[in-house]
Amino acid sequence: MSSRIPIVPENTEPLPRLRENEGMLSWVASVDHKQIGIMYLICCMVFFLIGGLEALLIRIQLAQPEFGFLSPEVYNQMFTMHGTTMIFFVVMPFLIGVGVYLVPLMIGARDMAFPRLNALSFWLFVFGGILIYYSFLTQSGAPDVGWFAYSPLSEKPFSLNKGPTYWALGLLATGIGSVASGLNNVVTILTMRTPGMTMRRLPLFVWMILVTSFLLIFVIPIITSAFAMMLLDRLLGATFFTPAHGGSAILWQHFFWGFGHPEVYILILPAFGIISEVIPVFSRKPIYGYEFVAGSTVAIGLLSLGVWVHHMFAVGLGDVTNLYFSFASMLIAIPTGVKVLNWVATMWGGKIIFATPMLFATAFIIEFVIGGLTGVAIASVPIDWVVTDSYFIVAHFHYALFGGSLFAIFAGVYYWFPKFTGRMMSETLGKWHFWLTVIGFNLTFFIQHFLGMMGMPRRTYTYHDFPYWGSMNLISTIGAIVLAVSVLVFVWNILQSLKRGEKAGGNPWNAWTLEWATTSPPAVHNFDLVPPVRGRRPLWDLAHPDMPDEPDAKVV
């Protein structure tokens, strides 16, 4: 025997092992992508309820002119935390989380490429969120400088409270986690696909997660380094963003929007992915123009990196700069429009089944198109100068992020809940939830377009009693209360369905992607056997060997 072989003594005692019945520890210590995914979803739900409550408080304060429900200081904290929570702790981690759960299943893998890194990402997100919310317990309260934290307001001379420091620290931690999950997704998708699952057969959801992950890797470091600079300014007396000492306040805006605009696409591309999975299944047709949906995603991803200056038209960078970016921003409408046309063409002539996921997906298309159209409008410099910092902008991005991302998230939850839990969600409660959401959402936000055109500024805690402003704001607040009820229905539906939902079986929607080929919920190792992949709809090919999608495809 060669002496080079290291001699390891045999274990006399069995190694510590986690079993299923060890309760919380089996979750906290888990590196299983499904458990981590579920934990992402639960945490997002908690943050969603908190962020929603903050929104409700904002709307109650605005229900009447000169109302004194919240003090200006608390109002500032509320709208800052509402924006921060919804973007960084609800939509983004939900989409990352659902990706973590589904990507390995959809490509026929056992787990992510780096399971421990996956757990690290998740816990950085949780603790980042806790750190930010801890600021409520400090003497000076939560951050109150807006989710954009423009300098010099966020600099020490103007914000002596600790809030913005907690804000930057918490988001710094979360941001590192996001970059890690971006890397993890890219490596997983590129290296761990089952035989036959070529890049051109990837489910569109996975494809969009791939593009989103590249965006995460490229743009999160921009804001993370900006957070570090802000912390240096606030804690160590640096002057990156204070003009009085030779820094530049506009530099912060460039960093923030250089990240902030691609971030919008980080929030919407996986949502597009969910919609691209749901619509074909419930229209009983393959997606129309797979190549265009996938290719336009790459175009959106690349374009999104170079258009952030349209958030800064009012800064005064010069007409030439504004003109170039106005043009580039409008270009994004082309690949986005291509996608909308593809979804509509998929539904066209299909046997549409309006189950709750499909209802949300259909409403998504309509609401998102409204948000997209107002987006093209404000890409035009003169229009932007009129409506910037008004409720028109609030209406615009809520149509994109609530009517867009969140509607897709609801569609995704109803669609994959049977896979996550093994039980169906109640269709009756689902329809209640859907209609209350649609009515509440449009009631809240549509009227804000008009309020904005009439000049109502955003981010102010109250307004004078101008003609119609009071009644229009009251309508908006009533909408917000309807939305709150709809969220309660949603939570009730989840809790009820977890206990008494109908048993789902492996593939309740008769869908075609690989995650439906295993049990619900999937076993720890995901698959006993992965079906052969010979086309974009492996389960269709398996069920219909006589008419596969790609008749000439070779068996791998």
Partner 1 sequence: MNILEFLTSTWTFEPWVLITAFLLLITYGAASGFRFTRKTALLTAGTALMVIAVVSPLDYLGRNYLFSAHMIQHILLLLIVPLLLLLGLPESAARKALAVKPLGSIMGILGNPVIAWSLGVGSMWVWHMPSLHDAVLRNETLYIAQQISFVFIGAIFWWPVFAPVKERRLEPLRSTLYLASACLGCTVLGILITFAGAGLYAAYLSPVDSAGILPYLRNDLCLTPGVDQQIGGLTMWVPGCLIYLTASMITIAEWYGSADSGGLTSAGARSGSRESGQNLQPAER
Gyration radius from the chain CA atoms:
24
Tell the smallest beta-carbon distance from residue 120 to partner 1 (Å): 21
Q: Per-residue x/- mask for partner 1, residues 198 to 217, rule CB under 8 A?
A: xxxx------------x---
10 Å Cβ neighbour count for 481? 16
Q: How far apart are CA 227 and CA 403, in angstroms?
A: 30
Q: Give the binding range for partner 1 (CB under 8 A) out of 266-274, 297-305, 396-404, 416-424.
A: 297-305
- Which residues neighbour 233 within 8 Å (Cβ) at sequence distance 6 or greater? 151, 155, 156, 239, 240, 241, 242, 247
Residue 200 or 503 with smaller CB distance to partner 1? 200
Query: Is 303 near partner 1 (CB under 8 A)?
Result: yes
Residue 495 or 524 with smaller CB distance to partner 1? 524
CB contact at 8 A, 143 and 135: yes
Binding residues with partner 1: total (CB under 8 A): 47
Query: Is 14 near partner 1 (CB under 8 A)?
Result: no
Q: How far apart are CA 292 and CA 286, in angstroms?
A: 13
Q: How far apart are CA 100 and CA 111, in angstroms?
A: 9
Structure tokens at 423: 């039980």
Facing residues of 526 across strands?
523
Tell the smallest beta-carbon distance from residue 291 to partner 1 (Å): 4
The binder of partner 1 chosen from 221, 243, 455, 532 (CB under 8 A) = 532
Q: Give the binding range for partner 1 (CB under 8 A) out of 63-71, 224-232, 296-304, 489-497.
A: 296-304
Q: How far apart are CA 418 and CA 509, in angstroms?
A: 9
The binder of partner 1 chosen from 83, 196, 260, 262 (CB under 8 A) = 196
DSSP secondary structure letters along 392-448:
HHHHHHHHHIIIIIIHHHHHHHHHHHHHHHSBPPPHHHHHHHHHHHHHHHHHHHHHH
Tell the smallest beta-carbon distance from residue 366 to partner 1 (Å): 28
Residue 330 or 498 with smaller CB distance to partner 1? 330
10 Å Cβ neighbour count for 532? 16
Per-residue burial over 352-381, b = 16 or more CB atoms within 10 Å of its CB, e = otherwise: beebbbbbbbbbbbebbbbbbebbeebbbb
CB contact at 8 A, 481 and 63: no
The binder of partner 1 chosen from 37, 108, 170, 501 (CB under 8 A) = 108
Residue 71 or 191 with smaller CB distance to partner 1? 191
Residue 55 or 312 with smaller CB distance to partner 1? 312
The binder of partner 1 chosen from 302, 314, 386, 543 (CB under 8 A) = 302
Query: Is 285 near partner 1 (CB under 8 A)?
Result: no
Instruction: Pick out residues in 308-327 that bind partner 1 (CB under 8 A).
Output: 318, 320-321, 324-325, 327
Site for partner 1, rule CB under 8 A: 108-111, 190-201, 214, 218, 291, 294-295, 298-299, 302-303, 305-306, 318, 320-321, 324-325, 327-328, 331, 525-532, 550, 553, 555-556
